[in-house]
Chains A and B, each alone.
Chain A
Amino acid sequence: GQQLNQSPQSMFIQEGEDVSMNCTSSSIFNTWLWYKQEPGEGPVLLIALYKAGELTSNGRLTAQFGITRKDSFLNISASIPSDVGIYFCAGPGNSGNTPLVFGKGTRLSVIA
């Protein structure tokens, strides 16, 4: 089925550093979504993108919908310990807008 390639797989950063992660697809997406999952919980939607080139912020998080519509980026500025978790990108699969396909996630660790 549809696959999303997310990188990096994991990151260890110092508190206060900026973080960048990305997601690529082999086909065009009309929606890009970014989720965060904390230990023991389900993923929570952070940012939704619907237009090529769109740049959207949510606090210290900024995500961009790539102009080719085959990629998306998530940046976290001035990281803090509570940013720890797994970040997933997601988008609608080939068979319509219902099934969401997820990347394998970027595991973020923040060292205080």
Chain B
Amino acid sequence: EAQVTQNPRYLITVTGKKLTVTCSQNMNHEYMSWYRQDPGLGLRQIYYSMNVEVTDKGDVPEGYKVSRKEKRNFPLILESPSPNQTSLYFCASSHKGQGAFHYGYTFGSGTRLTVV
């Protein structure tokens, strides 16, 4: 089944303890992206990647790191999590668009992170 898989689904951690949320897609997509979703703020992009070893900042990159060493994986790293990073996180992927067109992302099921 074509899908984006995130792990874990739920995570409670303490301030300052490094964590990684994994993301993997099996659709051979070039584009991958991380979003966070907060009440009243909608979906905000953290980082995105256009291909292997190519990453760029989204609208809210502070406090996050990513890497794209393989096409299928795009982990999100929180080096020193803080309570304001408590949120619902989504990984997404898509094929490369043609010109200025976008095919739309396929989203994972989400990771609910709580930082205490």
On A, residues with C-beta under 8 Å from B are 1, 30-31, 33, 35, 40-45, 48, 50, 88, 90-92, 95-105
- Is there a chain A Cβ closer than 8 Å to B50's Cβ? yes
Q: What residues on B are CB-neighbors of A33 within 8 Å?
A: 102, 104
The 10 closest A-B pairs by CB, nearest first: A42-B107, A104-B42, A30-B100, A102-B43, A97-B97, A45-B104, A31-B102, A33-B104, A92-B102, A1-B59
On B, residues with C-beta under 8 Å from A are 4, 31, 33, 35, 40-45, 48, 50, 56, 58-59, 90, 92, 97, 99-110
16 extra interchain contacts, Cβ-Cβ under 8 A, other than A42-B92, A98-B31?
A: A40-B110, A41-B109, A43-B43, A48-B104, A91-B102, A92-B100, A92-B101, A96-B100, A97-B99, A100-B33, A100-B45, A100-B102, A102-B35, A102-B42, A104-B42, A105-B42
Counting residue pairs across A and B whose Cβ atoms lie within 8 Å, the total is: 76
Whole-angstrom distance between the alpha carbons of A31 and B108 in the complex? Answer: 22
Nearest to B31 among chain A residues (CB) is: A98
Nearest to B30 among chain A residues (CB) is: A98
Nearest to A97 among chain B residues (CB) is: B97
Nearest to B109 among chain A residues (CB) is: A42
Say whether A104 contacts B40, CB under 8 Å.
yes
Whole-angstrom distance between the alpha carbons of A101 and B42 in the complex? Answer: 10
Say whether A50 contacts B106, CB under 8 Å.
no
